[in-house]
Structure 1
């Protein structure tokens, strides 16, 4: 009979069978199917719901446990099992008062239930303690209110009180008490008075953020009280800390409305996002209209554009297409065209990072135009802006258009290339480059540099613009000269890393690099000059000779790192690309020897790598960069929102971490902390690179040192992401090695590995036909065996113990050691596992292999396994006695070749255990034991 033909009652019985086998997913499927076939709300449906709730409870899916129990209690209001399971789920979610309510309800129904009495007693203590704590917290809040919001109190005391309120707001009880006590109104009032006290202002903003966090209802009340314009007013500051706090506060509001959090892999909750769609759209509209507000600071403008960019890719928010509809693209292009040189009343305040942030935002929006019609709307909006500007006869309009096109070329490249390919656009730019106006020369030169982004485009620029660039390089104005230099550098690097392609004459590339170096290290040049010089080097360092010249120049490397540490987003591309080139961290196409011969025969060009790019030279460069402090630069740059830049940064990190001797430096300078978000958010390649870097750190350095505190939990997911068929064998292996070290730290870490689905992934590699992967996976499982849940997996109705027995006699010593170690731990805590060893046909050969092994460590594990088996049950011991194992143990005790005294000691204890069972002198045929699967608590049984 197929699953489809079973009745609801039969499906329930099948579910019960799977539950007993601890096959939670199978049991869940059967109960769910039974519920689908049940149309009447009766006691039978309540049973299905209770049973499914039990499965959810085992899977630690507490929210669904509560939902099913709620439904069951609607049908059977006083059902003790539904109440008990809901009580357990509520306690796990730390909703202690509600759990206590359910426990009391059960006791009222069944006063003699001892297990529930124990739970009730425990919950009573917790609830009483929480009530006491809440009372104390309420008193603290009241005391802080009296100090913080009284303008007559000493300034220092008010600042301390506000900070204390911030600490209290991070606690659930404190936040609720403060909100009910009207803290929002008091903050608004004090901020109107304390207009210059940044400490009080920062604390006030942060308190509001904490009160909004993860609470949509409270957020709605707060927004109703203060209004979105308040956020836009408070973010309008030149104080970076205030702008950051206000930006975080607005993101928290959006998160609460959409069900997100600040973790990189967060996603909106569809139902919640739809419920608060109006509020979310209002927030977007306000942000978009503020982008071109002439009265806000440059820092505020950057923060607002970053907020749009960070949330534009979420499907349920649907901001990307909404931006096009409300003419947000035209506003962003207006920002993109802004120049610091144009200073008048209606000019926008911008920073050196504004155009970079805007280009990344435009790129992110375009990436989320998932279908052709949406992309056409995007391009049409950009076209409309360009045409409107070009209708203005003033030269300023042409300058602004050129600047906007440059921004596009640095963001959504395809759109920028399409615009520059339009009739007359490139010609206009080239004419501006030849004018006598310094500003026109500057913006035209920047646009030419950005336009030469692809080889086919660079060909056009070479033919039409190289003479212009050479002429501009002769300029007396350093700003023009350095830009022309970068243009020449970019065109000179069109051959990439192929040593056979030389666009310029021999020696010209090194001369260009030397010119860039002089701009970079000259302390008299401003940051803008140094920024452009490093961009020039980012193109020239495709050349291996330039790499070697640069890496030996300590002053140039130091200047580059210091420039990166400034945090200026406009230097990001130049620094990171230069580092990628120095580290050879770019993708390399695998060249198959047969294909080379075929290419020679067909007279095709064959790329050649320079001898200075051999691994020895690359390793030397990596070590020099690490010792120079490149990690500090990468940490500063990693705060970018550009996905492509994150990938480049991750590549450099991974290349540095490939050198074992400098991994410690990387950790000391904050590399591990910066890598975690890179491993969870970015391009697929970028996440892999960052995850591999974390794995390499986790292999070499004590995980508790490399990933202190909560970080040790956060690193688990990136490592497990590398345990995928899509990753290379090296990535798999390094991830497993790092997981092995993590699994040895504590049971809390092991539980988190299981929670992230690590058991199945790790176990799959134990079956790999790859020695190193199989060995590493077995070593991880050896450490995981210290977890109770893993032991239960091995006790289940499966062949896992049998496979460990097979691996224990593997010819690879390390695999054998790991498998035998896992068996030793497993048999020490599980009598069932001791009996399951006999499931293997070759169990005796495996035990012989371990006990007679010349390696002391392997032999030690073998003796422990045998001793555990003999001490487990009389039945297991009897089956061993039927063989020659006793004789081998006796021989080990007497042997002079066994040097490890522990082996002899354990062998002797095994014989003593056999004697206690009275089996050494007399053996009998014993039936296999009957495993008692009953439970002491009737409320946990299935129905």
Structure 2
């Protein structure tokens, strides 16, 4: 009692001195000493005062409530709770507390003044709410008054209306006061500011409210709402897009919840309204007079609302309906060409958005019959275009009287399909005459025809064999286009074509498409830039930037081939370029080019390179030359990362890369043209020589990052691919040497790794990318709100982030399973020490955090492909382990990290990922109770318990450490205390294991549990017959930390039960405690002395004559 009183006085003194944190700690310590109920009420009341001073009003209210529970007549506690409630905005509850204060002390003026003050606030609030109707009416009068000339007054009224609509009560007021009809009048004015105010107010009215949404659509008309999307004003179009998104969400939420709105009223089935909205959006795609931005917004909405959110949802009827009703309209946008009069107005991102929508729809199909219907509709669309082109007199022809425009549209549509659902695009290429038309148009003298044809040729070179055909027949055409064209848009595409051909071998060092040095020359051309300019507005470049960075960091999956299969392939001579006679391929593909993808690809590889070279050299249009260059690049990279599978001559890829870098750095051309240079580099960076040159070119990297942050969104994937290649961010497993030898014996091709793709080179490239600001660029890419940021692109970015934070090969995983991490033990489980033994040079992770990498990783870990989410989650785990989570993820963001980390505990993840997730969760669990509750809410405890039985000692130890920190939560303590489980037994047995770090974690958890749950102390002797030997071993351990944990467990058992204490004192534990109590002053000696003192108190032992 004297200690409690002294601590309370110390806290009072600290409070008077302004040290509220110190006072809070003193009061807390006094509470832990077991104060009387009266003292507890005072201490909780004082803690409430501290929290008020620290402006933590929620905790202040909690502490005051605890004091009131102990003493209902404590006026100070009541007053402090009223203060906290007032700050929290709960005025009605604060008034009740003050009224009790006044009734207890009627003459206290402080209470009377506070009651009057809160009463005034309540009256003001009531008065404000009652006058809302009048204010709404007044705001509409100002906005609709044609005589009102004061723009500032109108602007203020519109802002007030929007703010009011964001509150549920305000939105309901506006809706019930004829607000939708008045907002319709604002829309009809045609003034941008008034239309924005009306749209934003409608967002508040419809947000999460199905019945109001249906009523709004009924008043305004679905067609009228959708038509606003197509206006020229970009801000108005975006606001209309946001409104439609909110409407879709409200209607779809109603479908899931049984057609009930917020107010609980039963509604009609909203499926009809959904289909009407989608039908109008599809009509908008091909409607004349619609702005390009409006079409892009319509496509974005369709991408978000039509496909299923999860493939586990069995209902894809909406997707099937859209394919039947609107696939042709989507293809019309994807196949649009800019030049002919009367064509649809599109932006640089429209065709890419159409490709993404087509891809999403195709991926949402469930069976072969549905996919076959998709293919049939696409082929009929393209076939009808070409047929009607030949029979122009046929009535009703889409391409009647348009001459060559029909053929251009057909080829552009094929390109759109190749960029989206590539299976459908490949089948379209097999149609008779399509490939011939592409090659013929590449030699055209008209720029628009060359642009369309070269782009189609680039996209067609997606397969290694097809790339080989283009390498043999299209390189000369691309080179001619690049050298002779006067248009940058043609030249850059020709360059990208060459880059793509040059990278056809990927990272296979033996698969060179071009002569030695060609890819370096191409990359230099892509990087070349005469002068700097302001950042581009092109956003489609982001994907290409990410692709280039992936290549530079080798951030792609790599799976070692089965050596037996490698030797078999060599024996069969299937992977050696010289075994494919180009003459035979040309003859065969001329006859059966539509028969299959592999043969068609071979035809392109064998016959297209010269054509591309000729285009690159002779074309006067830059737009043609750059496409030809990309085609060559794609064919040149057909071998991927296999060093032995080079499609072009040695050095050719370097030449192509040089050309690509030249184009990339040329700020005199538009971003839409320059992004083709990034496409080329995305292919060429499979070649390690190109990666090394690329990361050394600071100007090219800067241009790449600037382009990734521009408005050219279609470049995102290419950027991500290049980054994956540069960082080698692909999975790689070492092959079994015996299998490799067997494969060689069977004369099967064995993929070879480029000497410059070794870890030392990769680490050097990663450091250069970090220094160049790659993290900032990628963070901006992740923030991009565009359909172009697909799940595949997110996966590539996740791989790059993982490569940046990993930055070195693990020395323990997965090969060194028997290695233990070095480092002395600490007071509490420290997974940081374990991790520092696993990776090298982790200090660069600070750069990733400083440039916003932690914030960017969170959305990547929560959305995207399964592989991409796993990679991002693993990168988050590495950051959480090696840095302070509260600094890496400030504020509420730290709670968002828990779910991705828990996902790494699933059995389908690797052992390293499980291990890192456990260490990261251990760090988080040691921070606060709220984080522990978040971990429990994500149902991580069963998985952590499962890993406590893992055979691998590192995983088992990490899981035990994590459980030790989680044991501070009441819910986990309840699990250990529950009858019929062996959780406590496992900790006791682990406390006697040979692994010292595992013993430390288990003994720490045991000490914590026995301290917080004394009932567990009596169960320890019951769980195992070896419990006494285990405790003795802990007490006799040379490790001070183990001794301390053992002494605390013994002390808890002695204090919990006299019977248990007697058992301990009858054993050798008494002698051990006597020796420890006489040792040097410290926590061990104090705990041992406390045990002996308690035994004396029980009368189990007696002090000797010296009083010891």
Q: 1:441 aligns with which of 429, 444, 450?
A: 450
Structure 2 residue aligned with 1:466: 609
Q: 1:163 to 1:526 in 2, by over 3 A?
A: same
Q: 1:592 to 1:237 in 2, by over 3 A?
A: farther
User: Structure 1 residue 416 and structure 2 residue 415: aligned?
Assistant: no
User: Structure 1 residue 686 and structure 2 residue 682: aligned?
Assistant: no
Counterparts in 2 of 1:179-328, with a 5 A limit?
A: 179-193=175-189, 195-197=191-193, 201-202=195-196, 204-238=198-232, 240-259=234-253, 275-314=269-308, 315=313, 316=315, 318-326=317-325, 328=326
Counterparts in 2 of 1:423-502, with a 5 A limit?
A: 423-458=432-467, 459-474=602-617, 475-502=619-646
Structure 2 residue aligned with 1:361: 357
> Equivalents in 1 of 2:271, 2:1068: separation in Å?
75
Structure 2 residue aligned with 1:29: none
> Equivalents in 2 of 1:723, 1:429: separation in Å?
50
> Equivalents in 2 of 1:895, 1:442: separation in Å?
87
- Whether contact under 8 Å (1:550, 1:556) holds in the other structure is yes
- Whether contact under 8 Å (1:632, 1:669) holds in the other structure is yes
- Whether contact under 8 Å (2:227, 2:284) holds in the other structure is no
> Equivalents in 2 of 1:867, 1:130: separation in Å?
56
> Equivalents in 1 of 2:723, 2:382: separation in Å?
35
Structure 2 residue aligned with 1:915: 1096
Q: How far did residue 444 of structure 1 move?
A: 0.9
Q: 1:821 to 1:169 in 2, by over 3 A?
A: farther
> Equivalents in 1 of 2:316, 2:741: separation in Å?
53
- Whether contact under 8 Å (2:465, 2:604) holds in the other structure is no
Q: 1:311 to 1:131 in 2, by over 3 A?
A: farther
Q: How far did residue 579 of structure 1 move?
A: 0.8
- Whether contact under 8 Å (1:869, 1:877) holds in the other structure is yes
> Equivalents in 2 of 1:671, 1:157: separation in Å?
43
Structure 1 residue aligned with 2:113: none
Deviations 1:20-75 (A, max 9, x none): xxxxxxxxxxxxxxxxxxxxxxxxxxxxxxxxxxxxxxxxxxxxxxxxxxxxxxxx
User: Structure 1 residue 752 and structure 2 residue 748: aligned?
Assistant: no
- Whether contact under 8 Å (1:893, 1:904) holds in the other structure is yes
Structure 1 residue aligned with 2:847: 665
Structure 2 residue aligned with 1:762: 944
- Whether contact under 8 Å (2:136, 2:174) holds in the other structure is no
Structure 2 residue aligned with 1:404: 413
Q: How far did residue 291 of structure 1 move?
A: 1.6
Q: How far did residue 555 of structure 1 move?
A: 0.7
- Whether contact under 8 Å (1:219, 1:253) holds in the other structure is yes
Q: How far did residue 882 of structure 1 move?
A: 3.7
In the comparison of the two structures, how many residue pairs are matched?
785
Q: 1:815 to 1:175 in 2, by over 3 A?
A: farther
> Equivalents in 1 of 2:376, 2:120: separation in Å?
63
> Equivalents in 2 of 1:890, 1:281: separation in Å?
82
Q: 1:747 to 1:485 in 2, by over 3 A?
A: same
TM norm structure 1: 0.78
Tell me whether 381-390 or 537-546 shows the greater mean CA deviation: 381-390
Q: How far did residue 578 of structure 1 move?
A: 0.8
Q: Secondary structure at the match of 1:501?
A: strand
Structure 2 residue aligned with 1:837: 1020
- Whether contact under 8 Å (1:312, 1:318) holds in the other structure is no
> Equivalents in 1 of 2:338, 2:805: separation in Å?
40
Q: How far did residue 157 of structure 1 move?
A: 5.5
Q: 1:774 to 1:477 in 2, by over 3 A?
A: same
> Equivalents in 2 of 1:143, 1:783: separation in Å?
57
Structure 1 residue aligned with 2:802: 654
> Equivalents in 2 of 1:575, 1:829: separation in Å?
54
Deviations 1:502-532 (A, max 9, x none): 2222211111111111111122222133211
Q: How far did residue 415 of structure 1 move?
A: 0.7
Larger Cα-atom Rg: 2
Q: 2:375 aligns with which of 376, 379, 389?
A: 379
Q: 1:183 to 1:869 in 2, by over 3 A?
A: farther
> Equivalents in 2 of 1:425, 1:129: separation in Å?
79
Q: 1:472 to 1:220 in 2, by over 3 A?
A: same
Q: 1:906 aligns with which of 1080, 1083, 1087?
A: 1087
Q: How far did residue 168 of structure 1 move?
A: 5.1
Counterparts in 2 of 1:463-612, with a 5 A limit?
A: 463-474=606-617, 475-588=619-732, 590-612=734-756
- Whether contact under 8 Å (2:248, 2:305) holds in the other structure is no
Q: Pairwise CA RMSD of aligned residues? A: 2.9
- Whether contact under 8 Å (2:688, 2:754) holds in the other structure is yes
Q: Secondary structure at the match of 1:500?
A: strand
Structure 1: stretches of 5+ with no match in the other structure: 1-95, 97-127, 261-266, 923-943
Structure 2: stretches of 5+ with no match in the other structure: 1-89, 91-118, 261-266, 391-402, 468-601, 808-841, 1104-1108
Counterparts in 2 of 1:66-85, with a 5 A limit?
A: none
- Whether contact under 8 Å (1:144, 1:165) holds in the other structure is no
Structure 2 residue aligned with 1:125: none
Structure 2 residue aligned with 1:347: 343
Structure 1 residue aligned with 2:886: 704
User: Structure 1 residue 850 and structure 2 residue 1034: aligned?
Assistant: yes
Q: How far did residue 191 of structure 1 move?
A: 4.6
- Whether contact under 8 Å (1:442, 1:479) holds in the other structure is yes
Structure 2 residue aligned with 1:813: 996
